[in-house]
Amino acid sequence: MQVKDCMTRGILYGNMQDSIYDLSRKMKENDVGLLPIIEHKKIIGLLTDRDIVVKIIANHDEKNIKDYLTKQIITVEENDTIEFALEVMEQNKIKRLLVTDDHKIVGILSLSDIIRHNNDNQKVMNTICSIFELNLNKEERKTEIDEFYL
């Protein structure tokens, strides 16, 4: 299966002039976790929902978005295989990739997209475990919900 068979087309963008609240609202309304941020028709970085919560809001720095953008933009071609895209995600410890066609951004590929379209869930699970540095063989403590008191 190729990336173009799973990816989400029709990318939403944010602008450097947008407030963090406008960007957050755009993510919520469109149910996306990543926005490429553009300035002068060029992508200058990527902003994730996690960046907003863990970096920007936690630092009370809602006006200085540029310092919190991911500057390293990792892409795959739309004709690449899903297996290759999973390897790229695993190597870079990321959950989403921008998809290009002849150096033009045409979509986004997320782990969720792959899960929805792929029957090889073991490969996807291995990638997820690697990204989050999970160990499937590790004995996990099983806790019943009623052990916790609110």
Which pLDDT tens digit goes with each residue over 132-145? 765 544 444 444 54
Percent of the chain with pLDDT over 70: 81
User: Is 77 domain-assigned?
Assistant: yes
Dihedral pair phi/psi, residue 33, rounded to 5°: -110, 5
CATH assignment at residue 97: 3.10.580.10
Q: Supply the pLDDT for residue 120.
A: 62
User: Is 136 domain-assigned?
Assistant: no
Q: What is the mean pLDDT of residues 8-30?
A: 90
**Full residue range of the structural domain in which residue 51 is found:** 3-131
Q: Which pLDDT band holds residue 92 (cuts at 50, 70, 90)?
A: very high
The per-residue pLDDT for range 113-130, each reduced to its tens digit, is 888 886 666 777 777 777
Q: Quick check: 25 and 53 in contact, CB under 8 A?
A: no
Q: Which pLDDT band holds residue 82 (cuts at 50, 70, 90)?
A: very high
User: Is 62 domain-assigned?
Assistant: yes
User: Is 141 domain-assigned?
Assistant: no
Q: Quick check: 108 and 99 in contact, CB under 8 A?
A: yes
| Dihedral angle of Cα 96, 102, 103, 105, to the nearest 10 degrees | -50
The CB-side HSE value for 68 (13 A sphere, CA atoms) comes to 22
Q: What is the mean pLDDT of residues 86-93?
A: 91
How many domains does the structure of the chain reveal? 1
User: Is 142 domain-assigned?
Assistant: no
Q: What is the distance in angstroms between the CA of the first residue and the CA of the last residue of the chain?
A: 47
